[in-house]
Structure 1
């Protein structure tokens, strides 16, 4: 998969050290966290999720060696399954809906909780695409897990 086609330009080359990619991820991650994950534009949230999947793959061996609590283990399972295009657990607890809507010639993106339904009769907006994405709770938790793994690898000294 070529991530530049998706509008993601995070991995510069195959020879870039893991530490550079992890540091680049944390710059983006903490910018988003400081802004508030729920305040991000839907496309930015999706890009951060995709970047998270890349870093998850880079750090997965180190993550497997960590002592994690039950919530962290659940987060790992959500991302592990998501990488394989599978879902785990209850949708309401683990995922949000990334939706693309169309009205006339206008396209709108939204992220909604799984239990909410935005399709309103006579509104004119038609849902043309929807996928589940890991929710904010898991995005916050995976950042802490990545930080632990990065420290074990000596990326942060």
Structure 2
């Protein structure tokens, strides 16, 4: 199956990604965590928190209204049931661009905006988020990702590593 849904010139939109059972369980867990008072539905405020938790951004008023447009009305207020939440969030998750996630992750490591990473960049990042990982392991991982051995991990090297890892999952 092609990985291109639509192509125009040199620009293309990626195909929607498949929603896995793990994704469905995560969506359900977020619903239940954000269902304040365990009412069995999400209010507008609950929904905003759920979107932040699941997708990592605060939705606009328009986006919230659109998500609630077809929702049930309970006590005069639009509320989202688990089934509706599963459908809406599955659709949104299927549009998440893995390449964008990889770019964002690379930018977190590339704190000096040079377009490449050094072993020092990785050591600094790992010392902050995973201080229990030994320095020699970080150096070994860096050498594996630095495919051309120039002491720098380019975005292409980083992307290759991330895609290889994501495909292996």
Q: Which has the higher contact order (CA 8 A, sep 6+)?
A: 1
TM superposition score normalised by structure 1: 0.26
Report which of the two structures shows the higher radius of gyration computed on alpha carbons. Answer: 2
TM superposition score normalised by structure 2: 0.25
